[in-house]
Amino acid sequence: QSIENPMQTLSHQNFAMEDWRGGYRSQPEEFAYWIDEVEGQIPPELEGTYFRNGPGLLDIGGYELRHPFDGDGMINAIALSKGRAFYRNRFVRTEGYVAEQKARKPLFRGVFGTQKPGGWFANAFDLRLKNIANTNIIHWGGKLLALWEAAEPHRLDPHTLETLGLEYLDGALQAGSAFAAHPKIDPSCDRLGGEPCLVNFAVKPGLSTTITLYEFNPLGQLINQHSHSVAGFAFLHDFAITPHYAIFFQNPVTFNPLPYVLGLKGAAECIEFNPKAPTRVILIPRSGKGKVKILETDPCFVFHHANAFEQEEKIYIDSICYTGFPTLDEGSSYHQVDFSAIPAGQLWRFTLDLETDSARSEQLIQRCCEFPSLHPAQIGQPYRFVYLGSAHAATGNAPLQAVLKHDLTTGEQQIWSAAPKGFTGEPLFIPRPGATADDDGWLLILLYDAERRCSELAILSAQSFAQGPIARLKLRHHVPYGLHGSFTHQ
Ligand code: 3ON
Ligand code: FE
């Protein structure tokens, strides 16, 4: 199943559309069991819990969602201890999930275009947001938090995954506050004398956009907060940090909310990419002191950044770029998406020069890829390896079926592909306790196996990749393709 030469181009399609679609079926059930079907060996030193969030439902009472990103958040937890694994999944009991499961139909509109039944008339002027808690899950300050960028986090019990309620984070948030789904753990925070801190942001978009930056100490206490206004509408899903800056890419998009207000489209469907406008790189000093800097670079659309760092008076930022904002044609379904007709994500490096206020960009990876991950100690620091979910083929757009390891110092790549039946997502790098080498650790990846129509947790050794997983923990059911996750050593 592994491919020797990552540069090979395969001319045929490496997956069947029907197999891919199988990973976008609702999983309404909640399970809790010991995983007894394990191929290979779970490393006994790998102790802790892998949490992963993502849409669990692709329908509400039989009403199909317009887009998977509108799906209710379902948390997967796989606890690893002494070479054994316990699986549990639970939906976040958001207000919307509870109400809609009772009503057996959509009661809210989704940001990505899901409408309430009844046509535009039933949807017009309903601008309430349903907090679906589906994007990420983190453990910080003793709290397990399910995140969705347009509303407050939900706090969960880390053992039972029971929903405990909305979380206001030491008073940092108020009712209805946004809180992004991409917090970063700075391994060595200036304001804490080298202790780690959690850095995150909140966006309030409009004619101008307000970005609020937050930092929390390991106890979850707010240690720093400041807000900044930038011109124009901004869609900011992720950011990157260095010791001194929080960096955002303001994608060149325009937002015309009229069809949303009138009940014709979802808010995200009203975003339009403008290939003639530059991407604006926003650098906010993390201390809160000093001026916000804005540089311009070539137009691209970015959801995710891999990492950023400061080196010799320059700032580097590595990001997954698309040549446009991926949109669905009116009347077409995501189940029928023509992969070759939409842009592929590719990794680019941007070099920012704050002396000359200029940015340079170069492509690092051509193969279609998403969901970058790296060694947690290298976040915001110069780093060597980036791990990504990638397509099987070296060129073209396709679903993620492989895991890619890219050495940023040599350009060398290793790939493990699960094609034609396997579909991947975010690989999470966990350093081996006591490791000294940058890549001494494991990658955890929840993949969908269309052969069994079930999912599994694959554990790869990050150093010896191509031979494939050292352990495959087979689940008894499928988990829909998901978004982001994290690992706690508890
Ligand atoms: O009206 C504004 C516009 C807008 C779009 C304001 C707003 C805050 C309400 C808003 C909301 C944005 C939201 C809720 C964004 C949520 C994004 C999300 C759930 C997921 C994004 C995922 C990104 C990627 C690149 C996923 C890739 C997946 C694959 C390659 C396939 O598995
Ligand atoms: Fe994301």
Question: What is the whole-number distance in angstroms between the Cα of residue 8 and the centre of ligand 1?
Answer: 32
**What integer pLDDT is reported at residue 5 of this predicted model?**
44
Alpha carbon distance 387, 405 (integer Å): 5
The token pair at 326 is: 């991926």
Name the region of 161 (left: φ>0; alpha: ψ -120 to 50; beta: rest). left
**What integer pLDDT is reported at residue 100 of this predicted model?**
98
Question: What is the whole-number distance in angstroms between the Cα of residue 74 and the centre of ligand 1?
Answer: 16
Cβ of 400 below 6 Å from ligand 1: yes
**What integer pLDDT is reported at residue 10 of this predicted model?**
45
Mutate to test the pocket of ligand 1, among 112, 127, 237 (most ligand atoms within 8 A of CB): 237
4 has pLDDT over 50: no
Question: Which pLDDT tens digit goes with each residue over 66-118?
Answer: 999 999 999 999 999 999 999 999 999 999 999 999 999 999 999 999 999 99
Alpha carbon distance 143, 167 (integer Å): 9
Q: Who has greater pLDDT, 8 or 298?
A: 298
Burial of 348 (0-12, 13-18, 19+ CB in 10 A): buried
Cβ of 268 below 6 Å from ligand 1: yes
Alpha carbon distance 189, 197 (integer Å): 6
User: Structural domain boundaries of the chain?
Assistant: 17-488
**What integer pLDDT is reported at residue 178 of this predicted model?**
98
Question: What is the whole-number distance in angstroms between the Cα of residue 447 and the centre of ligand 1?
Answer: 21
Question: Which pLDDT tens digit goes with each residue over 376-400?
Answer: 999 999 999 999 999 999 999 999 9
Cβ of 111 below 6 Å from ligand 1: yes
252 has pLDDT over 70: yes
Residues 6+ apart with CB under 8 A from 380: 184, 186, 187, 240, 241, 242, 243, 307, 308, 309
Question: Among 378, 477, 468, 363, which Cα is nearest to 429's?
Answer: 378
Task: Name the pLDDT band for 12 (thresholds 50, 70, 90).
Answer: low
Residues 160-165 have a mean pLDDT of 98
Question: What is the whole-number distance in angstroms between the Cα of residue 11 and the centre of ligand 2?
Answer: 30
H or E element in which residue 175 lies:
none
Residues 349-376 have a mean pLDDT of 97
CB atoms closer than 10 angstroms to residue 335 = 13
- Output the residue whose Cα is nearest ligand 1's atom 8: 150
9 has pLDDT over 80: no
Task: Name the pLDDT band for 13 (thresholds 50, 70, 90).
Answer: confident
Q: Which atom of ligand 1 is nearest to the CA of 178?
A: 8
483 has pLDDT over 80: yes
**What integer pLDDT is reported at residue 279 of this predicted model?**
98
- Output the residue whose Cα is nearest ligand 1's atom 21: 69
Q: Which residues are registered as beta bridge partners of 416? A: 403
Q: What percent of the chain has pLDDT over 90?
A: 95
3 has pLDDT over 50: no
The rounded mean pLDDT for the chain is: 96
Task: Name the pLDDT band for 11 (thresholds 50, 70, 90).
Answer: very low
Residues 335-352 have a mean pLDDT of 96
Mutate to test the pocket of ligand 1, among 57, 58, 66, 69 (most ligand atoms within 8 A of CB): 69
2 has pLDDT over 80: no
What residue type is assigned to position 376 of the chain? P
Question: Which pLDDT tens digit goes with each residue over 398-426?
Answer: 999 999 999 999 999 999 999 999 999 99
CB atoms closer than 10 angstroms to residue 352 = 24
The separation between CA 260 and the C-alpha centre of its own chain, rounded to angstroms, equals 25
**How far lies 17's CA from each of 12, 22, 26, 330, 390, in Å?**
13, 9, 17, 20, 17
Ligand minimally distant from the alpha carbon of residue 259: 1
Q: In this structure, what are the phi and psi dihedrals at residue 151, rounded to the nearest 5 degrees?
A: -155, -175
DSSP 213: E
Question: Among 91, 4, 80, 2, which Cα is nearest to 43's?
Answer: 80
Mutate to test the pocket of ligand 1, among 147, 149, 269, 426 (most ligand atoms within 8 A of CB): 149
Cβ of 431 below 6 Å from ligand 1: no
Cβ of 214 below 6 Å from ligand 1: no
467 has pLDDT over 90: no
Residues 194-206 have a mean pLDDT of 97
Cβ of 370 below 6 Å from ligand 1: yes
Question: What is the whole-number distance in angstroms between the Cα of residue 36 and the centre of ligand 2?
Answer: 31
**How far lies 18's CA from each of 51, 189, 344, 385, 401, in Å?**
28, 47, 20, 34, 14
Do the beta carbons of residue 371 and residue 400 sit within 8 Å? yes
Alpha carbon distance 65, 282 (integer Å): 34
Ligand minimally distant from the alpha carbon of residue 389: 1
DSSP per position, 60-115: ETTEE-SSGGGSPBEEEEEEEETTEEEEEEEE---HHHHHHHHHTS--S--TTS--
What residue type is assigned to position 240 of the chain? A
Q: Who has greater pLDDT, 431 or 7?
A: 431
Question: What is the whole-number distance in angstroms between the Cα of residue 166 and the centre of ligand 2?
Answer: 21
Alpha carbon distance 242, 315 (integer Å): 8
- Output the residue whose Cα is nearest ligand 1's atom 9: 150
Please tell me the number of Cα atoms within 13 Å of 122 on its side-chain side.
10
The token pair at 38 is: 């394990």
Cβ of 320 below 6 Å from ligand 1: no
